[in-house]
Structure 1
Amino acid sequence: MDLNLEYVSTYKMARAMVAGKEYNSAIPLLKELLDTPRSQISTMDIMFELADCYFHTDQLPESEKLFNQVYELAILRQDHHQQALTLKNIGLIEFRRKRYQLAAYQWHRSLEEADKMEEQDVFLKASILFNLGLVHSKLGNLEDALDYFNGSSALYEGTNSMYEIGHVYMGLGMSYKRLNDLERAVDYSERATAIFEGLNNVLMTIKTKVTSAVLLGEKGHDLEAEQMLLAAIARFRELGQFEEMGMTKVELAKLRLRQQKFRQAEELCHEARSLLPELHLYQAWINRIHGRIAKDRDQREEAIRRLKTAAECFKRMEEVKDWDDTMYELAELYLEAEDHEQAIGILEEIRRYSRQILEERGIAL
């Protein structure tokens, strides 16, 4: 009895660690439980928790192997809920690997299994639909993305999961932004802000306000956008969220760039650089902003150097669209100088790399 009690208590401790996102600490406990199986706790449950820990510690091959074993056991038990949950997590692995077509395939399978359950799990289905919205947004299928986000929102609205609804509204806002429907984008961003404020989720509220400010700036409401961004910078400073503060400073620098306030944009970029990790998406944006300023000042060599640095960083971060846009700006610089050989070389590189990425992500041309 003592051994059984110790076994159960170890499992509960491991689950508490997982809930507290202490994944590295939970792994040895879960591995110990797997090595000494007992009937009190399902081996499948332990494997699932361990696979989840491996996923969150970027041990993707180990995570995938265990999730596949869990899925096979779930099929034998005809457990549709476990099958749906496991396929959802396998999809997350593919999404992390940026294999978006495969992620979408796994999440569609997950949704099919969820639909077979006698008692529907609203939260599970809503989260799967949200993931499908994300992946279709990544694939450029924006209309499909909106359908999935709306489906997720409709399910969540029948529950008390306001935090999840807020995230869905953020997804809808970004999708409408990419469709250039800025009115709806602002509307959903404001809805998300109201939800997060109601939940007192301070950090997420500030992040959402930054998104709303960026959208307002793109609509030409510069003063309102500026005030919101400055307020967000101040709040991030108070909370010690320096990376978020750096990213927001870059967003304000973009606004200053559009206003042709180049000196202020440069100062903001300089301040942001020290707040961000060396390899970071917004470090690329800092160089891109500097490149555009140099171009406006007819500092051609400096503009080329900055844009090349930005493009290299975008490429390392696998941000294909931003890399593509930056490379086109670079090609335009060479065309303006009538350096056609360099310009053509860049355009060929864009074509070659874009094809490579599409093939890697399983998108047929």
Structure 2
Amino acid sequence: MESLGQKIRQRRLERGLTQSQLAESLVSASAISQIEGDKINPSYKLLCQIAERLEVPLDYFLSETGEYLEQVTSHKLAKTLIMAKEYANAVPILENLLTSNAGEELDLLMDLATCLIHLDVLTTAKELLEKVITMSLKADDHRAHVWALHRLGLVFFEQQNTSLAMHYWQRAYDYLLEAGVSDQFLRAEITTNLALTYNRLGYYDRSTHLFLNSQDLLKNSSNLYHLATNYLGLGRSHYGKKQYKEAQEYWQEAITIFKSLDHIQYSIQVKENFGILRGELGENEEALEILLECVKHYRELGLEQQLSNTFAEIAKVLIRLGRTDEASDALNQAFEHCEPDSMYYAQCCNVRSLLYASLHQYAEAIEAAREGSGIFRKLEMIHEYHKMRLHISDLFKTLGDYKSSTEILEETQHFIQHFFREKGILL
């Protein structure tokens, strides 16, 4: 089916008119170009004038116009559903428009990819985003190209593939600057995401610098959610550097903003960070009280999927308090709420190792730590992998097996050096 714009262009060429001649005294030549490219829809009055100039009855366009307007309306409905976070309802509308070759394919693909990311259909989302990357380059659409690279990085980050996430976010950032895309918010968002990857890799000075850079880009912004996300990241970076006072200050800023925005889930997550921090400072009873409150809040909101990390942290506190039976129960609940081979499962293995070590069951502690470090290595969570390997080395030292302890350290150093060299990450 020919679109309205295609129909007008075909008739104009048949009449031997240029776009400027068709536009004369009606609209600009650029407006005719956009109409023929189906980028804008002419008003009814203008369509009547175009039909008269092209010497065809209005009926020549009316059927096409009706279908075209129906398509535009459908796409607007899909966008409205996306804004309302009703992604599952938007998907069939967008898929139907793509199947019938209706509307701007690039826009439809980007909207559909957005929906699939939120619905956790990540494999299909990746395929769509790769198509958008190729199409946007051909169309010379710089912003769409940056957007697709950015979203592809987000998909890999959600899949816990930190190095590929960093790769695409760095490409997005470099292309954004190279192409001169003047979108401070998009640049800030990509900068924040790069900071998250460095934070996850354990490079806290670099992540702190990037978070602050993003904050500077947002200094005149009213996007409080993004500001709060940066505060949360800055808190994590300072926590990683054991600068607990600074971490607490940033987290307090984050929790205040999240509460003001009614982002209850995020405010609970920050509260959980406070609980973990209290435990690190040796205030274990206070830490336990905060973490148990977080469990209660998550359950009240039906956020059972968030509980694995919280129960694992509770188990760690209970181990420090010498309440090993309760720690074992909390750890079992942590395992129940996480998927195998996930970062949370690896974290649970780490806590299991700590529990065995507290009971002087060192062989079991080493086995649990090896399992967890293997998962972190597979997920390319290098900082967590490094910490767990150091823990294994210390366990061998406790057993007096200094040879194995040294071998673990050498293997770990070799792998980390090879990892960064292979990924081309220069720090």
TM-score by length of 2: 0.72
Q: Give the CA deviation at 1:202.
A: 1.4
Instruction: Quote the Cα distance in structure 2 between the aligned partners of 1:217 and 1:115.
Output: 47
The residue type equivalent to 1:234 in the other structure is K
| Residue 5 (structure 1) shift | 2.8
Task: String of CA shifts for 1:120-168, please: whole Å, max 9, x gaps.
Answer: x443233123223223334554334223322323444533322222111
Q: 2: distance between equivalents of 1:247 and 1:198? A: 25
Letter of the structure 2 residue corresponding to residue 30 of structure 1? L
Aligned length: 357
> What amino acid maps onto 1:108 in structure 2?
Y
| Number of the residue aligned with 2:130 | 65
Q: Which moved more, 1:225-234 or 1:271-280?
A: 271-280
Structure 1 residues 272, 304: CA separation in 2 closer, same or farther (over 3 Å shift)? same
Could you list the runs of 4 or more consecutive aligned residues of structure 1 that deviate by over 6 angstroms after TM superposition?
none
CA contact 2:130–2:148 (8 Å) conserved in 1: no
1:49 to 73, 94, 111: 111
Using the alignment, how far apart are the partners of 2:390 and 2:204 within structure 1?
24
1:187 corresponding residue in structure 2: 249
Inter-partner Cα distance in structure 2 for 1:338 and 1:112: 55
The residue identity in structure 1 corresponding to 2:253 is R
| 1:354-365 alignment, distance < 5 Å | 354-363=416-425
Asked if 1:280 corresponds to 2:320, the answer is: no
Give, in whole Å, the separation in 2 of the partners of 1:209 and 1:158: 27
Shift of residue 93 of structure 1?
A: 5.1
Structure 1: distance between partners of 2:152 and 2:340: 31
The answer on whether the counterparts of 1:249 and 1:269 sit within 8 Å (CA) in structure 2 is: yes
Q: Does 1:209 align with 2:274?
A: no
CA distance in 1, matches of 2:188, 2:426: 29
Letter in 2 for 1:187: E
Query: Contact 2:126/2:152 (CA < 8 Å) preserved in 1?
Result: no
Which of 75, 80, 84 is the equivalent residue of 1:11?
Answer: 75
Q: CA deviation at 1:211?
A: 1.2
1:100 Cα deviation from its structure 2 partner: 5.1
SS of the aligned residue for 1:333 comes to helix
Which one of the candidate residues 275, 290, 306 is aligned to 1:244? 306
SS of corresponding position for 1:159: coil
Cα deviation for residue 214 of structure 1 reads: 1.3
- Return closer, same or farther for 1:329/1:90 CA change in 2, 3 Å cut-off: closer
Q: Say yes or no: does 1:297 pair with 2:362.
A: no
1:134–1:171 Cα contact (<8 Å) kept: yes
Q: For the aligned residues, what is the CA RMSD?
A: 3.1
Deviations 1:305-337 (A, max 9, x none): 332333334334433322332233223333443
1:125 aligns with 2:190: no
Of residues 247, 261, 266 in structure 1, which corresponds to 2:323? Answer: 261
- Of 97, 102, 107 in structure 1, the residue corresponding to residue 167 of structure 2 is 102
Equivalent position amino acid for 1:228 in 2: I
Q: Which amino acid aligns with 2:314?
A: L
Between 222-231 and 207-216, report the one with greater CA deviation.
Answer: 222-231
Deviation at 1:36, TM superposition (A): 3.7
In 2: Cα distance, 1:299 partner to 1:162 partner: 48
- Structure-2 separation of matches of 1:148 and 1:267: 40
Give 1:187 shift: 0.4
Give 5+ residue unaligned stretches, structure 2: 1-64
Q: Secondary structure at the match of 1:363?
A: coil
- What secondary structure sits across from 1:158 in the alignment? coil
- The equivalences for 1:21-36 within 5 A come to 26-27=90-91, 29-36=93-100
1:196 maps onto 2:261 in alignment:
no
Whether 2:395 is the aligned partner of 1:333: answer yes
- Shift of the 7–235 alpha-carbon distance from structure 1 to 2, 3 Å rule, reads same
d(CA) in 1 for partners of 2:137 and 2:321?
58
Matching residue's letter, 1:109: D
- The alpha-carbon distance between structure 1 residues 205 and 355, as it changes in their structure 2 partners (threshold 3 A), is same
Q: TM-score, normalised by structure 1?
A: 0.83
1:154-207 Cα deviation digits (max 9, x unpaired): 444533322222111101111111222211110010111111111222111111
Matches of 2:122 and 2:188, distance apart in 1: 25
Go from structure 1 to structure 2 and tell me whether the alpha carbon gap of 1:191 and 1:239 turns closer, same or farther (over 3 Å shift).
Answer: same
| 1:88 aligned onto 2:150 | yes
For the Cα contact (< 8 Å) 2:116–2:122, is it kept in 1? Answer: yes
CA shift digits 1:285-308 (9 cap, x unpaired) = 333223223223322333233323
Q: CA deviation at 1:210?
A: 0.4
* Partner Cα separation in structure 2 for residue 42 and residue 162 of structure 1: 32
Amino acid at match of 1:229: L
Alpha-carbon spacing, 1:288–1:128, altered in 2? closer, same or farther (3 Å): closer
The answer to whether residue 237 in structure 2 is matched with residue 172 in structure 1 is no
Aligned-pair CA distance for 1:104: 4.4
Amino acid at match of 1:218: E
Does the CA contact (< 8 Å) of 1:15 and 1:26 recur in 2? yes
Gap change, CA 1:229 and 1:54, over 3 Å in 2: closer
> Contact between 2:315 and 2:328, CA under 8 Å: does it hold in 1?
yes
Q: Report the AA paired with residue 281 of structure 1.
A: M
Q: Is the 8 A contact 1:7 1:33 kept in 2?
A: yes
**1:135 is aligned with what amino acid?**
T
Aligned-residue identity in percent? 26
Q: Distance in 1 between matches of 2:225 and 2:142?
A: 26
Which of 138, 143, 147 lines up with 2:205 in the alignment? 143
Greater displacement, 202-211 / 321-330: 321-330
Pairwise CA distance, 1:267? 2.7
Aligned to 2:373: 311
Q: 2:295 aligns with which of 233, 250, 256?
A: 233
